[in-house]
Amino acid sequence: MSDSRPIGVFDSGVGGLSVWKEMIKILPFESVIYYADNKNCPYGNKSPESIIQLSSKVVDFLLTKDVKSIVVACNTATAAAIDHLRKNYTIPFIGMEPAVKPASLNSKTKSIAILATEGTFNGKLFRETSRKYARDVELNIEIGNDLVDIVEKGLINEQSTYNYLKQVVKPLVDKDIDHLVLGCTHFPFLIPVLQKVLPENVKIIDPAPAVAKQTFRVLQQKKILNQSFQKPQYDFYSSGQTVVLESILKDIFGFDIEIHAV
Ligand code: DGL
């Protein structure tokens, strides 16, 4: 069986593009519709109820585009809304999972850190994952709400971002961490700067490739992969500013694509 309908992907803004990029690598025949809810960004400090409401609105929009499944490319929205979405819609949802497990298993110093939003740390998914997998390590948490804003405003390469990140990682480095888990899809765009401010032995873990693999597995299981081997179509919608979205797609990923404002 083959299903040529597109996959929907959404985030509060540009962050989910880090997941989109991994998805199109391992799902080269799947069309994808990306929705950036940047009018309402950040989600990180909003109540679970508001995030559920915002996510449902995005899902309703994506369903008007006939998507066959949806990747919630936002840790914060996954934490607050994925249970609700799975209960209320029939299509399969794939969410973000904080990569605490690989970091804990591979840590030699027995000290790891996770950088995420307040909303993600408050969710039960994070609590359960850390209880299950981080028993034998010291798990240092760091709220990175300001970092979302930095990425969303396209300030990645500013000197002020370097200075700020240096300050953010200092207490974590002092704790002798050897893994830093990126628990927010905006943060992989900061990896080049993070590599400069972290000691060489600290491994940065971006869960995006694992989520892309999980998307493949879910589509395969549900028998809704596109088997027609045609060139896919990529569409982008944004509820707010499109400038940074366009510049990430073009300058970092090399895609010159027009973003539809909604
Ligand atoms: N990109 C998002 C995440 O993965 C959220 C950023 C935000 O809106 O606060 O958590």
- 182-227: pLDDT as tens digits: 999 999 999 999 999 999 999 999 999 999 999 999 999 999 999 9
- Short-list 168, 183, 73, 191, CA closest to 134: 183
CA dist list (Å): 252 to 24, 189, 245, 249, 255: 15, 9, 10, 6, 8
User: How much is the pLDDT for 98?
Assistant: 87
- To the nearest 10°, report the CA torsion of 187, 192, 195, 198: -60
Going from the Cα of 27 to the center of ligand 1, the distance in angstroms, rounded, reads 24
Task: For residue 262, count other CB atoms closer than 10 A to its CB.
Answer: 13
Residue 229 has pLDDT above 90, yes or no: no
pLDDT, tens digit (0-9, with 9 covering 90-100), for 158-168: 999 999 999 99
Tokens representing residue 178 in the block: 């050897």
* pTM (predicted TM-score): 0.97
Calpha distance 119→65 (Å, rounded)? 28
Look over the chain and give the mean of its residue pLDDT values, rounded to a whole number. Answer: 96
Mean pLDDT value of segment 247-261? 95
- The DSSP secondary-structure symbol of 114 reads E
184 as an active site residue: the answer is yes
User: How much is the pLDDT for 223?
Assistant: 97
Q: Where does ligand 1 bind, in terms of residues with CB under 6 Å?
A: 11-12, 15, 41-44, 74-76, 117, 120, 148, 184-186
Calpha distance 221→234 (Å, rounded)? 23
CA-based end-to-end distance of the chain: 33
Ligand 1, atom nearest to 11 Cα: 1
Beta-sheet strand order (sheet of 179-182)? 138-143, 111-116, 179-182, 203-205
Q: Which position among 165, 184, 193, 244 bears the catalytic label?
A: 184
41 as an active site residue: the answer is no
- Short-list 22, 32, 28, 52, CA closest to 237: 32
Ligand 1, atom nearest to 43 Cα: 8
- Short-list 191, 19, 183, 208, CA closest to 117: 183
- The DSSP secondary-structure symbol of 169 reads H
Question: Which uninterrupted H or E stretch holds 72?
Answer: strand 69-72
